[in-house]
Amino acid sequence: MSDHSLNESPADSDPSLRRVLGLPALVFFGLVYMVPLTVFTTYGIVTEVTGGRAAGAYVITLIAMAFTAASYSFMVKRYPVAGSAYSYTNRSFGPNTGFLTGWSLLLDYLFIPMINYLLIGIFLNIVFPAIPIWTIVVSAVVLVTLLNVVGITSVARASNAIVAAQLVFIVVFVASSAQTLNTGVPIDFLAPLRGSDSVTGFGPLMAGAAILCLSFLGFDAVSTLAEETKDPRKTLPKAIMLTTVGAGVLFTLLAYVSQLVHPAITFDNVDTAANEVMLMAGGQLLANFFTAAFVAGSLGSAIASQAAVSRIIFTMARDRFLPKAWLGNLSPRFGTPVAATLLVSSVSMLALVIDLTTLASLISFGALVAFSAVNLSVIRTYLIDEPNNRTAAGILKYGIVPGIGLCLTLWLWTSLSGLTLAIGSTWFLIGLVYLAFLTSGFQSRIKEIAFPEGGH
């Protein structure tokens, strides 16, 4: 038996996950899910959109995400269970609304592993052109699936090593950039915040912030591991806020340094702008180091994101929203949701036939639905359902904070492309039709299943 052996309560035959994760492992999990070097994935795009103010756009995104992260911390303290926004909405608004939130969230989570597999294939193919992209993608899917089947402890260990490698690269990058800038020529330290005169105003900054909001999905992924966390009511809120603020500061710093070392706001190829920055900061050696670290980060993100979505599917199946006999059970040997993990792996094989731009456009819809739902869940749970919290402090904490998070999230919605809204709405409609089937045309509610909780 692994350290994730199957646990069942005598009073409840539903399987539950074993609590083995502490604060450091959760923070590392969130960071590797977000990928510390993800700033360079969209750096060229955001730099051009904002006119060289990528760092400023990150500050705006961090502020917006901090309010939503606070809402997640409130909800995970109340409901330390797997399932993230799905579980919180389920408990706050009922299983039907919870299902629709979880269904929208699946659109987000299902495509995040896929985009990482595609990035691994693209970047490794540049270094090893003799190896076809499809071979690399399939190999990565198999490797990540095996790690997730073995257990979350192996995922945490792999995450720690990958984050450590990226942090080493970040130190080298900042040091190389400082050496490159140390030429005796005066440096305009406000340039990365002021930007170019060719692109001005607050609108471009918001457009850049909308692109960057998906870089902060790690705090949401942390909440999916509630049932595998030691003392989750205390540990998870801390992990969520530390992950969000830590990543936001890191992203802002990297964008700021990159703009200093490479002041241009246009690039030969916007998708590979990071290579131009690396060549300017440290030459070909640093560029090669970046490629290795970026691929490692993408692999780590694939590991973490596949673990997260498999647990969401497991939770929904355990609650009979999806086929329980197939997806709602844990492996007796490993104590992990093997069937759900294999389903995610199968979907990820679409990376062989779908392009990077389309994948990126599909991720944001589910994320913003989840963020909005969690902010609303805080207001419903703590203020509407609990009148005792309607004090000045309670209204500030459980009303104004999530209210601001909701408004900022809805503001980011206005920057979504028409294609993203169309595909996301179609996915939501399919979920609505499936819910109608499950409830016999909304004549009944899906039975609400008691969530196993712990950490009291």
Cα–Cα distances in Å, from 103 out to 306, 322, 328? 16, 10, 16
For the chain, domains (ranges, CATH) are 7-438 (1.20.1740.10)
Q: Tell me the C-alpha distance between 55 and 105, whole Å.
A: 28
d(CA 121, CA 124): 5
How far apart CA 388 and CA 402 sit, in angstroms, is 18
The answer to whether 370 touches 101, Cβ cutoff 8 Å, is: yes
3-state secondary structure of 8: strand
Q: How wide is the angle at C-alpha 187 spanned by C-alphas 182 and 189, nearest 5°?
A: 120
Q: Identify any residues that bridge with 21 across adjacent strands, giving them in sequence order.
A: 229
Helix (H) or strand (E) holding 13: strand 12-16
- List the chain pLDDT tens, one digit each, 456 residues: 333 333 444 444 455 566 778 888 888 878 777 778 888 878 888 898 898 899 999 999 999 899 999 999 899 888 877 667 878 888 899 888 888 887 887 787 788 889 889 888 887 877 788 999 899 999 999 998 988 887 656 556 666 677 778 888 999 999 999 999 988 788 888 888 888 877 778 888 888 888 888 788 777 778 767 777 888 888 888 888 999 999 999 999 999 999 999 998 888 877 778 888 999 999 888 988 888 888 888 887 788 788 878 887 887 788 777 788 888 788 777 777 888 889 999 999 988 888 776 777 677 777 888 889 999 999 999 999 999 999 999 999 999 999 999 999 888 877 777 777 888 889 899 999 988 988 888 887 776 544 444 333
Lookup result for tokens 């039709």: 433
Look at residues 121, 122, 118, 123 and name the one whose alpha carbon lies nearest to residue 136. 121
Tell me how far apart the alpha carbons of residues 313 and 309 are, in angstroms, rounded to a whole number: 6
Token couple for 346:
């199968």
SS3 state of residue 235: helix
pTM: 0.77
> Which residues 6+ apart lie within 8 Å of 292 measured at CB?
none
